[in-house]
Structure 1
Amino acid sequence: MQLNVTSTKPTKGLLLFYFFLSIILNSIGNALTVAINLGSALWTAASVNLDHVLAVSLSLMMFVPSFLIIIVNIIILKKVSLSRIIGNLVFLVPFSLLVGQFSTLLGNTGINNLAFPIRIALDCLGVCLISVAISLYQRVNWMLHPVDDLMQIVRFKYFKGNSVIAQLVVFTPPLIAIIISVIITHQIYAVNIGTIFALVFQGALVGIADKYIFPSLKHQNIDK
């Protein structure tokens, strides 16, 4: 989906509202998919599988690859923006911690004892929450998760605002990471129905959320 971009800036109060709402939605969505274990979004699934390879905490495994993506973003844009990097880190640190904490809390609720169709629905709901969160903080373009910053950069720099193509391109590295992890451990984690749902629909869901969730909020300050 392709969208109009505007230079109109939300108030600081709205920026804070969208920021906190998006980080909570994204953390809960990712934690829900991890706890249910019927398939996480691709980058989260890659982190879970690498976590089993390297035997480190999930929070750390969520943080390190994302930090490397910050460097990739700098290379693509061919410039260093201190405010952008700080925004990525400010978003990334609480997000990584919250996903780890929320996934543990949800796992302790007995959520995996629910009927299989309900678990599938909740897993897909998690992907939908992630998509809405991405849409919100990409449009605000204030503080973004580095991976979603990458998606936004390639979306407008190379694909004329098409969220579906950009999301598929950004999904390529985690797919490779998952394949390598499976080769090493001979097991696969957090990849299931929800992962396929995310692979097929997440880009489109971001575009739909752009249009229908807080529709007055447009994309701003896009790097092309």
Structure 2
Amino acid sequence: MHIQDAKQRFFWLTISIVLNSAFNALTVATNMGSAVWTASAVNLSHWVTHSTDPAIASQALGIVLTVYGVIVALLDMLLIGRFDLSRLVRNILFVIPFSYLVQFIVPFWSNVIGIKYLHGDFSHPWQLLLLMTINMIGLFGVGAAVSLYQRANLIMHPNDDLSYIIRFRYLKGLATASQMLSYIPPITIMIICFVANQHQLWAVNFGTVWAFLTQGWVQGWSDKHFIPSLKHHFKTRA
């Protein structure tokens, strides 16, 4: 790897971790539906804390996202057919800052920026419309950030590495199909949480369906149009 290429990839990796954390936190703050993996983790947080209070559950979100990520990283090892310690370590190096950044940024969006004040009985239609718009912006940002660090391909969140493995090892580069297949584990977890949490779901709303249908497309679009000078380096992670 050339030094200049390595610097460029590391720079965009750093930017993508911050963007991904911030935009995931934004979708949690709107409560209009998070990306599928994040929504799954939010419901796990409620389950493990035995609480219906989002403020209490959010205190466990960082550790839940971290443990969740480690488990998925081990699943990735199964899919590539070998135990790759270097890849596992790189996945975990991504998980830890990402997980706790999400936990710490949610209160910023909710309390400092004031998104929590848009919640309520939606007596004004613009409240709901604004929340939905903010949520879609957040989900688009998540997809674009994932595209960045998949192309940088230095370290990657295990959830997105799962999609990446399916995409390039099994589906000949098809972004949308690989993204939908990778959603099977978190959707299964959400179903289990729905039963365990007395038929309640959190962070599952319009945005979750929107993310399920569009995230693969957003990543494919971002590959070509968002920092197009950054190309995929999947051969270095075969």
TM-score range, shorter chain: over 0.9
* Paired AA for residue 81 in structure 2: K
TM-score normalised by L of structure 1: 0.92
Q: Is the 8 A contact 2:69 2:158 kept in 1?
A: yes
TM-superposed deviation, 1:112? 2.9
- Determine if contact 1:18/1:140 at 8 Å carries over to the other structure: yes
1:10 to 1:135, Cα distance in 2 relative to 1, 3 A: farther
Change beyond 3 A, Cα 1:184–1:86: same
Which residue in 2 is equivalent to 1:4?
Answer: none
Structure number with the bigger relative contact order (C-alpha 8 A, sep ≥ 6) is 1
Q: Structure 1: how far apart are the matches of 2:85 and 2:200?
A: 40
Q: 1:13 aligns with which of 7, 17, 42?
A: 7
Q: Counterparts of 1:151 and 1:14 in 2: how far apart (Å)?
A: 23
Distance verdict in 2 for CA 1:58–1:180, change over 3 Å: same
Which of the residues 206, 210, 213 maps onto 2:219?
Answer: 206
1:133 alignment partner in structure 2 = 145
Identity rate, percent: 37
Partner residue, 1:102: 105
Corresponding residue number in structure 1 for 2:174 = 162
Q: 2:91 aligns with which of 88, 91, 98?
A: 88
Give 3-state SS (helix, strand or coil) of 1:108's partner.
helix
Partner Cα separation in structure 2 for residue 38 and residue 9 of structure 1: 42
Q: Provide the aligned C-alpha RMSD in A.
A: 1.6
* Aligned residue type for 1:197: W
Are residues 1:69 and 2:82 paired?
Answer: no
Residue in 1 that maps onto 2:54: none
For residues 226 and 135 of structure 2, what CA distance do their matches in structure 1 show?
A: 21
Q: How far apart, CA to CA, are the structure 1 residues paired with 2:88 and 2:26?
A: 28
* Structure 1 Cα separation of the partners of residues 116 and 173 of structure 2: 38
AA aligned opposite 2:168: F
Task: Find the aligned partners of 1:142 and 1:95 in 2 and give their Cα distance.
Answer: 15
Match of 2:232 among 202, 219, 222: 219
AA aligned to 1:63 is T
Could you say which structure has the larger radius of gyration?
A: 2
Aligned to 2:203: 190
Residue matched to 1:149: 161
2:141 partner amino acid? L
Deviations 1:4-53 (A, max 9, x none): xxx98962221221111100110011100111110000010001111111
